[in-house]
C-alpha cells in the first residue's frame, strides 16, 4: 500500500525484535517529500535497526509505506573500501556509469573531479573519503537517501562543512534525507525534523525543539516506552 | 617440444589466467588460505579415481564440489567463517586421501605434485573450455561480490543474494582447482589462486588493473613453471610456485622503489 499525497514515508506501529527481545517498538511517524529527518538516540537505541527495517533488510511487524515508485539510496555507517584496490571512478560506477554525472557530482561536493576520479580510495584522506561517499550517495539521483552517520570519523570543522553541503545538495536535487546522528547541535542546525529513539520513540517533532532539557532527558535517560505526542509533519 | 609439454602449456596458461582472475576475489575476501586448503580436499577423489580406474580429475572435482557446497551450507548454518570450516576439513581430506592411495606411491606423488607428461589433447581442450566458462561466470558475479565486500547490507538492499554468489564462487574455485591439479598437484595448486593476486594487489590502484595483472601473473607463473619442468625434467608444481614467488618479489621491489602508497 502506498502513502497518500505528498507524504513520502509513513511508518505505523513498527516493531523489530531479535531473539524475542524488542529492539524497537511503537514507532509511528510520517514525513513529507523533500524534508530532512534526523534520527537521534543513544547507542543501542535502534537507529540503525530502523534503517534496516525501512530498507526491508530485516523482518518487522507493523507497516512501512513508501510514497509511490521511488528510488531509495543508502549509505551504511561502515563501508569496507580501504582494503580494496578500487578507484573513485570504479566505486561511483556501481551506481551510475555516466562519467559526466560522476564528474558533476564530485565537483558539487567540492572535490577536483578531474584529479580525484582516477585516485584509489585507499589513498584518500578522511575528509575526501566522506565527500566521495556523499557523491556516491547522490550520483544515481535517489528520491530518498538514508545516511547512517554521515560524518563519523571526521573533525568538527569538516563535519559542519559536510552537513552544510549535504543540505545544499539535497535541497537542490529535491532529495528526502533521513540521517542518523549523535550530535544534537548538528541535528538542530541541519535537519527539519527529528525522531528520537530510545528503544521506542521518545520525541518526534521540529528539530529546533530537540535541545529542550526535558526532551534530552527522555532521549538519554532510562528507556521508558510509552505513547508519545508526536505530530505528523 | 613434445606434445605433452605443448598441451601442458595450454593448460598452464589458461588455468593460470583463470586462477589469477578468480584468486583476486579470494585475496580481497581475505580467504587466501581457503583457496590453498580447499585444493587438498580433492585428494580422496583423485585416489578413488585411481582405485576404480576412472579419470582421477573427475573424482577430484566431485570431492571439491561436494565439499564446497557442504562448507557453504555449514557457513550459513553455523555462521563460522569459510576459513575455519575449510581448516577443519582439509587435513581430514588429506589424511583420507593418503590412506586411500596406500602403497601406490607413484600415483600419490602425481596427485600431490602434478605430472605434465599425462596431459593430453582432451585435458587441454577441457582446461580451455572450463577456464573460459569460469572467467565468463566470474565476470558476471565480480561486481556483485565486490559490492558485498564493500557492504553486505548495501548489496542486499540492491537485491543481490550474497550467499548465492558466494556459493557460485566456491564452485568456480573448485572447477579451477580441479583442472589445475594436473600440472601443479593438489599440494601446490592453491598457490595459483593466492600469490598472483597478492602480487597484483600490491601495485594496483584500481580494480581493472588488479584483475588484469592478477590473471597475467597467474598465466606467466604457470607457463614458466611448465617450460622449466620440461627443460630440467623436474616436477612442474614446485617450479610454478618458484616462478610466481619471483614475480611477487619483483613486484614488492617495484612498489618499494616507486614508493607506492596504495
Q: Closest Cα to residue A189, out of A214, A216, A162?
A: A162
A57 interaction partners in chain B (CB closer than 8 Å): 153, 156-157
Q: Smallest CA–CA separation between B149 and chain A, in Å?
A: 7
Option in B143, B151, B262 nearest A80 (CB): B151
Residue A4 has pLDDT above 70, yes or no: no
Reported as a single tens digit per residue, the pLDDT across A57-76 is 999 999 999 988 899 988 88
Residue A1 has pLDDT above 60, yes or no: no
CB under 8 Å to B212, separation ≥6 — which residues? Answer: B200
Give the CA radius of gyration of chain B: 18
Contact between B209 and A85 using a beta-carbon 8 Å cutoff = yes
**Element (H or E) spanning A183, and its range?**
none
Residue A2 has pLDDT above 90, yes or no: no
pLDDT band with cut points at 50, 70 and 90 for residue A233: very low
Pair A102, A89: CB distance under 8 Å: yes
Residue A103 has pLDDT above 50, yes or no: yes
CB under 8 Å to B145, separation ≥6 — which residues? Answer: B25, B29, B165, B166, B169
Pair A106, A133: CB distance under 8 Å: no
**Among the ranges given (A153-162, B22-31, B49-58, B89-98), the one the predictor scored with the smallest mean pLDDT:** A153-162
pLDDT band with cut points at 50, 70 and 90 for residue B208: very high
A79 interaction partners in chain B (CB closer than 8 Å): 150-151, 154
Taking the domains of chain A in order of start, what are their residue ranges?
1-71+143-151+176-228
Residue A5 has pLDDT above 60, yes or no: no
- Measured over the CA atoms of residue B52, residue B54, residue B56 and residue B57, the dihedral's sign is negative
Alpha carbon distance A36, B240 (integer Å): 59
Between A5 and B95, the more confident residue is B95
Give the CA radius of gyration of chain A: 18
B151 interaction partners in chain A (CB closer than 8 Å): 76, 78-80
The reply to whether A65 touches chain B by the CB within 8 Å rule is no
Contact between A85 and B156 using a beta-carbon 8 Å cutoff = no
Contact between B206 and A78 using a beta-carbon 8 Å cutoff = no
pLDDT band with cut points at 50, 70 and 90 for residue A52: very high
Taking the domains of chain B in order of start, what are their residue ranges?
3-258
Option in A55, A79, A87 nearest B157 (CB): A55
- Give mean pLDDT, residues B81-90: 79
Contact between B206 and A118 using a beta-carbon 8 Å cutoff = yes
Contact between B262 and A74 using a beta-carbon 8 Å cutoff = no
For chain B, which residues lie within 8 Å of any Cβ of chain A, measuring from their own Cβ? 28, 143, 146-147, 149-151, 153-154, 156-157, 201, 204-210, 261-262
Give me the pLDDT at residue A225, please: 63
The reply to whether A78 touches chain B by the CB within 8 Å rule is yes
Alpha carbon distance B245, B247 (integer Å): 5
Option in B146, B151, B261 nearest A123 (CB): B261
pLDDT band with cut points at 50, 70 and 90 for residue A3: very low
Between A41 and B86, the more confident residue is A41
**Among the ranges given (A97-101, B1-5, B95-99), the one the predictor scored with the smallest mean pLDDT:** B1-5
B150 interaction partners in chain A (CB closer than 8 Å): 79-81, 84
Alpha carbon distance B98, B100 (integer Å): 5
Of 3.40.50.2300, 2.70.98.60, 2.130.10.10, 3.40.50.300, the CATH number of A1-71+143-151+176-228 is 3.40.50.300
Q: Smallest CA–CA separation between B262 and chain A, in Å?
A: 6
Domain B3-258 matching CATH 3.40.50.2300: the answer reads: no
pLDDT band with cut points at 50, 70 and 90 for residue B116: confident
Reported as a single tens digit per residue, the pLDDT across A26-37 is 899 999 999 999
- Give mean pLDDT, residues B182-204: 88
Option in B143, B150, B206 nearest A85 (CB): B206
**Element (H or E) spanning A206, and its range?**
strand A200-206
Give me the pLDDT at residue B249, please: 96
Contact between B262 and A79 using a beta-carbon 8 Å cutoff = no
Give me the pLDDT at residue A37, please: 95
Reported as a single tens digit per residue, the pLDDT across A143-200 is 999 998 887 767 777 788 888 888 888 888 889 999 998 888 888 889 999 999 887 7
CB under 8 Å to A14, separation ≥6 — which residues? Answer: A24, A25, A26, A27, A28, A50, A53, A60, A61, A62, A63, A64
Q: Smallest CA–CA separation between B67 and chain A, in Å?
A: 28
Contact between A80 and B208 using a beta-carbon 8 Å cutoff = no
Pick from A6-10, B30-34, B185-189 the range whose average pLDDT is largest: A6-10
- Give mean pLDDT, residues B62-84: 84
Three cell numbers, residue A200: 521506542
A86 interaction partners in chain B (CB closer than 8 Å): 146, 206-207
**Among the ranges given (A24-28, A128-132, B109-113, B164-168), the one the predictor scored with the smallest mean pLDDT:** B109-113
**Element (H or E) spanning A67, and its range?**
none
Give me the pLDDT at residue A222, please: 67
Contact between A123 and B210 using a beta-carbon 8 Å cutoff = no
Measured between CA atoms, the residue of chain A closest to residue B152 is: A79
Residue B146 has pLDDT above 80, yes or no: yes
- Give mean pLDDT, residues B152-158: 85
Between B82 and A122, the more confident residue is A122
Sole residue written with cell 610456485 = B241
Contact between A123 and B153 using a beta-carbon 8 Å cutoff = no
The complex's ipTM?
0.80
Write out chain B in H/E/C secondary structure. Answer: CCHHHHHHHHHHHHHHHHHHHHHHHHHHCCCHHHHHHHHHCHHHHHHHHHHHCCCHHHHHHHHHHHHHHHHHHHHHHHCCCHHHHHHHHHHHHHHHHHHHHCCCHHHHHHHHHCCHHHCCHHHHHHHHHHHHHHHHHHHHHHHHHHHHHHCHHHHHHCCCCHHHHHHHHHHHHHHHHHHHHHHHCCCCCHHHHHHHHHHHHHCCCCHHHHHHHHHHHHHHHHHHHHHHHHHHCCCHHHHHHHHHHHHHHHHHHHHHHHCCCC
Q: Closest Cα to residue B240, out of B180, B199, B197?
A: B180
Amino acid at each position: 500500500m502506498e502513502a497518500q499525497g505528498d507524504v513520502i514515508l509513513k511508518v505505523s506501529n513498527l516493531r523489530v525484535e531479535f531473539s524475542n527481545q524488542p529492539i524497537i517498538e511503537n514507532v509511528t511517524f510520517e514525513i513529507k517529500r523533500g524534508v530532512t529527518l534526523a534520527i537521534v538516540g543513544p547507542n543501542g537505541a535502534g537507529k540503525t535497526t530502523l534503517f534496516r527495517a525501512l530498507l526491508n533488510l530485516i523482518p518487522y511487524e507493523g507497516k512501512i509505506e513508501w510514497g509511490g515508485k521511488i528510488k531509495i539510496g543508502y549509505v551504511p555507517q561502515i563501508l569496507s573500501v580501504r582494503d580494496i584496490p578500487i578507484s573513485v571512478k570504479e566505486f561511483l560506477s556501481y551506481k551510475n556509469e555516466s562519467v559526466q554525472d560522476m564528474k558533476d557530482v564530485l565537483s558539487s561536493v567540492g572535490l577536483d573531479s578531474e584529479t580525484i576520479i582516477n585516485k584509489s580510495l585507499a589513498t584518500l584522506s578522511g575528509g575526501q573519503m566522506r565527500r566521495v561517499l556523499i557523491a556516491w550517495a547522490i550520483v544515481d539521483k535517489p528520491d530518498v537517501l538514508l545516511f547512517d552517520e554521515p560524518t563519523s570519523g571526521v573533525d568538527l570543522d569538516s563535519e559542519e562543512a559536510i552537513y552544510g553541503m549535504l543540505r545544499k545538495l539535497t535541497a537542490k536535487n529535491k532529495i528526502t534525507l533521513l540521517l542518523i546522528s549523535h550530535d544534537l547541535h548538528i541535528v538542530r542546525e541541519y535537519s527539519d525534523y527529528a525522531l528520537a529513539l530510545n528503544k521506542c520513540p521518545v520525541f518526534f517533532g521540529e528539530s529546533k525543539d530537540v535541545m529542550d532539557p526535558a526532551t534530552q532527558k527522555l532521549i538519554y535517560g532510562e528507556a521508558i516506552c510509552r505513547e508519545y505526542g508526536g505530530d505528523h509533519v | 617440444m613434445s606434445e605433452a609439454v605443448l598441451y601442458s602449456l595450454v593448460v598452464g596458461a589458461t588455468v593460470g589466467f583463470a586462477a589469477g582472475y578468480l584468486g583476486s576475489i579470494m585475496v580481497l575476501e581475505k580467504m587466501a588460505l581457503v583457496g590453498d586448503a580447499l585444493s587438498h580436499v580433492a585428494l580422496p577423489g583423485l585416489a578413488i579415481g585411481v582405485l576404480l580406474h576412472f579419470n582421477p580429475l573427475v573424482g577430484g572435482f566431485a570431492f571439491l564440489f561436494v565439499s564446497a557446497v557442504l562448507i557453504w551450507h555449514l557457513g550459513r548454518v553455523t555462521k563460522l567463517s569459510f576459513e575455519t570450516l575449510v581448516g577443519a576439513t582439509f587435513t581430514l581430506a588429506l589424511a583420507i586421501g593418503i590412506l586411500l592411495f596406500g602403497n601406490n606411491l607413484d600415483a600419490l606423488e602425481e596427485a600431490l605434485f602434478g605430472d605434465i607428461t599425462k596431459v593430453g589433447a582432451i585435458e587441454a581442450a577441457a582446461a580451455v573450455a572450463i577456464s573460459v566458462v569460469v572467467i565468463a561466470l566470474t565476470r558476471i558475479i565480480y561486481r556483485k561480490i565486490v559490492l558485498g565486500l564493500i557492504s553486505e547490507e548495501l548489496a542486499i538492499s540492491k537485491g543481490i543474494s550474497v550467499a548465492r554468489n558466494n556459493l557460485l564462487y566456491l564452485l568456480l574455485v573448485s572447477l579451477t582447482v580441479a583442472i589445475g591439479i594436473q600440472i601443479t598437484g593438489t599440494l601446490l595448486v592453491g598457490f595459483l589462486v593466492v600469490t598472483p593476486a597478492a602480487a597484483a594487489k600490491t601495485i594496483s590502484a584500481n580494480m581493472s588493473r588488479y584483475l588484469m595483472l592478477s590473471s597475467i601473473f597467474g598465466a606467466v607463473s604457470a607457463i614458466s613453471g611448465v617450460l622449466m619442468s620440461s627443460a630440467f625434467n623436474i616436477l612442474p608444481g614446485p617450479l610454478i610456485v618458484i616462478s610466481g614467488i619471483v614475480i611477487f618479489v619483483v613486484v614488492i621491489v617495484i612498489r618499494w622503489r616507486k614508493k607506492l602508497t596504495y
